Structure 1
Amino acid sequence: MRVVLAALIFGCFAGHAQADPPQPGPGQISDLSGLQRWIEAHLPPPALPAAPMTPLVDAGGLSLELAALRAATMPRTIDDDFVDGWPELLADYANGNVIAYRDVTAAAEQVLLVPARQVLQLKFRTTDSHDAASYAVATLVIPHGEWPGAGTRPVVVNNLPINGLGRDCNPSYSLARGWGEDSDITDYIPPTTQLAMLRGYAVLITDHEGPRMAYAEPYVAGHAVLDSIRAVRNALPDEFGDSRFGMIGYSGGAIATHGAVKLMPEYAPELADVVVGAALGGVPADFELLAGSMNGNLASGVFLAATFAIGRERPEILDRMNALAQWIALIMKDQCIDVFALTGIFMVPIDLAADFPNPLHSALAQDIFRVTRMEGKRSPVPLFIYNGAQEFWIPAEGARNFYREQCAMGANAVYRDVFGEHVIAALTGFPEAVLWLDERLRGEPAVSEC
C-alpha cells in the first residue's frame, strides 16, 4: 500500500516537473493550481460501484457519484458483528440505551497488565454529527476489590486518542482480542487506565469515532462519550448509578473530551451533576490553526487523514476531493496512524487533494472550521486544560483561546502551559492533570483560576 501511495504522488510530481515552477500566492504555501490542473487532466478517478442503501452510507440527498465515493471510502468490516453490525430499529432506542454487551475479561487482561474483576464491552445507541441515529462501542474495566472510599465506585472516562481510520485501530479491538500489530502504544502511555484501576476506579474507554471512523469529528466523538456514560449508568445502575465520572483525554482524546463538555448542556444535561470534571491536553480546539501548522509539512499525513475522516460525516468535503485524493482515500481508508502519519514525508499540501485552488481559504473550509470550533458552548463541568508551550503541530494558542472562551462564559477552568512539544507535553502535563482529576473524583471542589 505504501509503495502504491508513493508511486501515485511521485507520478503526479514527475509529470508536472516540466511545467513552470509554482509561485507563492497570498495566504498559500504556493500556487498549486497548475499542478491541480495536471492531476485533473492526467489522472482518472477510480471506478466505483453504486452505493448500497445502508444506514452506514446514508446517501440521502447526495448525488449518485458522491454517494458511491462515500460508500467506497467507509471503513471495512472486521468480521465482528458486535462492532460491525448496524442494529435493527436503532431509531427506536434512546440515546445511551444498551443494545448488546459481552465479557472480554480474559483477552483484556493480557493488554491491561493489571488484573480486572470484569471487562465489559457495551454497544449502545448514540447520534452522528447530523443528529441521526447511530451506535458506538465502549469498554468498561472494573478492578478487583471493594471501593474503599465514600459512596459508589467512581469512573475515569479515559478518552484515548485512537488516531485511526480503520475499525481495528479502536481500543476495543485490542481489548477484545489481545495485543496485536494494530494496537496503539498511546493507549497505554501515559498509563491512565492502569493507574486508575490501582486507585480503585473503574475505567470507561469509548470508541468515540463511531461506526464511520470519523477521526477528529468532535460531534460524533462528544455524543459517543456522553452516551457511553449513560450506557454504564443504564446497564449497571446498582453499581454505577450514583457514581462520579471524570473525563481525561490528550490530543485526539482531547477532541472527544472537548466535544463532550461543550455538547453536554444541550445533549445530556442530566450528566452535568454526574461528571465532576474534565482534564484535556494537547488540545486541537481550533482546526483553522492546524491548517497553518500541519499542512504541507511532516504532519501533513495526519492533517489529510483527519480532513478525509471528517468528510465521512460531512461528505461536502469528499465532494471536493480530486482523483488523486480519491485513490489515496481508497488505499488508506483502514490505516492507523502508524501508517498514514508516514505519508508526511512527502509534505503534500492539502491543495493537491482538492479540485479547486486554495481550499483552506474557501467558504467550505471556513464553514468546517466554524462548526468544529463549537464556539459559544460553555462547559457545565470544571476544566483542567494544558498544552505544550513549545508545541508546533498543535499550537498552545488554541488551548489558551479555549480557556479564555470558557472563562468569559463563566466556566470553572484552569490552564497550564507545560514544557515540551506534543509528545513530551503528553508526559510533562500528565501528573498534574491526573492528580487534579483524582481530587474531583474524591469529591474535592474545583477552584477556578479564571
Structure 2
Amino acid sequence: MSKLRVVLVAAMIGCSLVVGPVPAHADRADGPGVPVTPSGSGPSGLQQWIGANIPAPSLAPAASPPWRELPPELAALWQAVRPAPSGDRIFDEWPGGLDRLAAGNIIEWRDVTATSAPLVVVPISRSVLLKFRTTDASGRPSFGTATLVIPAAAWTGPGDRPVVVNALPINSLGLSCTPSFAMAHGVHSKFNVNDLIPPTTAWAVGRGYAVLIPDHEGPWMAYAEPTVAGHVLLDAIRAVRNMLPAEFAGSHFGMGGYSGGAIASYAAAMLLDEYAPELAGVVVGAAIGGLVTDYRMVAHHFDGSSTSGVLLVVALAMGREYPQILGYMNHLAQWAATSPIKDTCGESNGPLGIVGLPIEVAADIADPLDSNIADEIFARTGLTDRKSGVPLYIYHAATDFWIPFENGYNLYRDQCARGVPAVHRTDPGEHIIAMFTGFPGEVSWIDGRLRGEPAPNECRAGS
C-alpha cells in the first residue's frame, strides 16, 4: 500500500472528523450542496455526499472465505480488511484438516521461555506457545493461540498446580498486537503495555500458580466478538490439559479479565455448560470488570462520542467474522478499513475517535445502529439469556463514562435470579482507573477459588 494512499485516507477521515457532518444546505458558498434525505428512507444526505465525492478503493479480485461463498466485490473487500500477516507462521498459517480435530486438540507448540521470562519478571521454569483447534462464532472449525507460563518454584499445595487464566484487554485489530506474539518475540513496536499492567501474571506466578494467556480475538482478530472469545478461552484450557496431563489434568482454572478481557472471561462462563461441559468443576470461577453485555446500549453510547473510534474498530472487527456487515460500508469506510488502520493495536483505537466521528459516516444506510443488520449482530452477540457455569465476581467503575454501569449490575442481578453465586463491587474511578482500583478485589477472589474456598454469594444482600 502506497504512502500516498495512506495520506489520502487519513486526510479524508481527518476532514470528516474536523468539520463533522456536512451541512444540508443547497446554497453553500464553498461547493455543491448535500441533498437532504428523510431519515429512514435510504442513505442520509451526508452518506449520499460521501458516495458521490469519494470513489471506491481499487481492490484486487480475491476468493471467498473457504466457509462461505460471497459476491466477488464482497469477497475482495473481506480479504482486504483481514489483518496483515504478523510474519510468524504459527499466528499466520491456517492449518489443514481442522475438521478432523476435536476442540482443544494441539496443532503445534513452541517453547518461548527465553522471550517470555523478562516480561513475567517473576522467575519461571517454562513458557509454551500453544496453537490449538477451536470453533468460530458460527460453529465452524478454527484455530486459536495462547501462552502457558509455569513458575520456577515447585507447587507445594494440595493437588495439581492451579492455573490463572489471564484474559488481557487486547482490544486490537492486528495479529502482532496479541499477548502471545509479545511473549514469543519480546517487546516490539506494537507491544501493548496492558500485557503487563495490572500485574496479574506476575502476581499469579509469585503465588505459585501457572498462568494461561489466551489470544481471545481468534485468527481474524474479531475484537469484542464474545462467542469467538469464549470458545478460544475454553479451548485453551482444553489444550493445556491435553498437552500436559501429568501436570494439569487435575488442576483448577480461575478466569479473570477487564474490559475487552472481561468479554472473554464472561463469554467463557456463559458458554461453558453448552460448549465445554466436561470443564464443569475444572473451571472454578470468573472475575470480570468493566464488562460490556448490552452491545446495543454501548454502541449508542459510543456513537459520535470521544469513544467512537472504539465503536468503528469493533464494527470492522465484527465484519471479519460476519462478512455481511462489510456490504454496508461506504467508500470512505472501505478506504479506512483497507488502510493500516486494519492492523492498529489497542492503545491507538481510542484516539481514532477523539473528536467524535459518528458511525453514519462509515455506512451507506441511514440509522445504521437501528438497522436490520445491527439487529442481527446484536442478537448474535447477546449472551445474557444464559446461566453462568461458574461463580462470578463482577466489578465496575463508579464513574465509568465508557461502559454504562448497568452492563455489569444487570448481569449480576440476572445471574443471582438464575441461582449463580455472585458478588458485585463498585470500585473508585472511571473505566481506566478502576482497572487498578478493582485489581486487589479481583485477584483476592480468584485466589480464594483456587485455594478451594467456597465461592461467596451476596445475591440476597445486593440483588
Query: Which stretch of structure 1 is more off in the superposition, 390-399 or 289-298?
Result: 289-298
The one of 147, 151, 154 equivalent to 1:139 is 147
**Which residue identity is paired with 1:273?**
G
Match of 2:207 in 1: 199
| 3-state SS of 1:317 partner | helix
Aligned partners of 1:32 and 1:352 also within 8 Å: no
Matches within 5 A, 1:113-262: 113-262=121-270
Match of 1:109 in 2: 117
The one of 382, 396, 410 equivalent to 1:373 is 382
Deviations 1:331-371 (A, max 9, x none): 11111122232211231000111111011111221221222
Deviations 1:93-119 (A, max 9, x none): 100000101100001112222221000
Aligned positions, number = 445
The one of 83, 91, 104 equivalent to 2:99 is 91
Match of 2:351 in 1: 342
**Which residue identity is paired with 2:289?**
G
CA distance in 1 between counterparts of 2:159 and 2:14 reads 61
Query: Which stretch of structure 1 is more off in the superposition, 101-110 or 179-188?
Result: 179-188
Is 2:15 the partner of 1:6?
A: no
Aligned partners of 2:144 and 2:215 also within 8 Å: yes
Match of 1:42 in 2: 53
| 3-state SS of 2:280 partner | helix
Deviations 1:25-62 (A, max 9, x none): 9999xx98111110011111111122235xxx336232
Aligned partners of 1:51 and 1:59 also within 8 Å: no
**Which residue identity is paired with 1:265?**
D
Deviations 1:388-424 (A, max 9, x none): 1211111111111111221121111111111111011
Aligned partners of 2:22 and 2:46 also within 8 Å: no
Give the TM-score taking structure 1 as reference length: 0.94
Match of 1:422 in 2: 431
Is 2:284 the partner of 1:273?
A: no
**Which residue identity is paired with 2:432?**
V
The one of 397, 403, 416 equivalent to 2:406 is 397
Match of 2:417 in 1: 408
Aligned partners of 1:384 and 1:415 also within 8 Å: yes
Query: Which stretch of structure 1 is more off in the superposition, 344-353 or 211-220?
Result: 344-353
- Are residues 25 and 232 of structure 1, via their aligned partners in 2, closer, same or farther at CA, if it must alter by over 3 Å? farther
Note the residue ranges of structure 1 that are not aligned, 5 or more in a row.
Answer: none
Match of 1:65 in 2: 73
Over the residues paired in the alignment, what is the CA RMSD in angstroms?
A: 2.2
Match of 1:326 in 2: 334
CA distance in 2 between counterparts of 1:252 and 1:18 reads 36
**Which residue identity is paired with 2:114?**
A
CA distance in 2 between counterparts of 1:349 and 1:23 reads 19
| 3-state SS of 1:316 partner | helix
Query: Which stretch of structure 1 is more off in the superposition, 191-200 or 364-373?
Result: 364-373
CA distance in 2 between counterparts of 1:9 and 1:32 reads 19
CA distance in 1 between counterparts of 2:425 and 2:171 reads 24
Q: How far did residue 81 of structure 1 move?
A: 1.2
Matches within 5 A, 1:354-365: 354-365=363-374
Q: How far did residue 12 of structure 1 move?
A: 4.9
| 3-state SS of 1:7 partner | helix
CA distance in 2 between counterparts of 1:27 and 1:297 reads 21
**Which residue identity is paired with 2:46?**
L
- Are residues 205 and 23 of structure 1, via their aligned partners in 2, closer, same or farther at CA, if it must alter by over 3 Å? farther
Q: How far did residue 5 of structure 1 move?
A: 4.0
**Which residue identity is paired with 1:336?**
C
Aligned partners of 1:351 and 1:359 also within 8 Å: yes
CA distance in 2 between counterparts of 1:163 and 1:73 reads 17
Match of 2:308 in 1: 300
| 3-state SS of 1:124 partner | strand
| 3-state SS of 2:420 partner | coil
Matches within 5 A, 1:282-297: 282-297=290-305
Aligned partners of 2:224 and 2:260 also within 8 Å: yes
Query: Which stretch of structure 1 is more off in the superposition, 128-137 or 310-319?
Result: 310-319
| 3-state SS of 1:307 partner | helix
Query: Percent identity at matched positions?
Result: 51
CA distance in 2 between counterparts of 1:197 and 1:156 reads 9
CA distance in 2 between counterparts of 1:263 and 1:393 reads 26
Which of structure 1's runs of 4+ aligned residues deviate more than 6 A?
Answer: 13-16, 21-28
| 3-state SS of 1:139 partner | strand
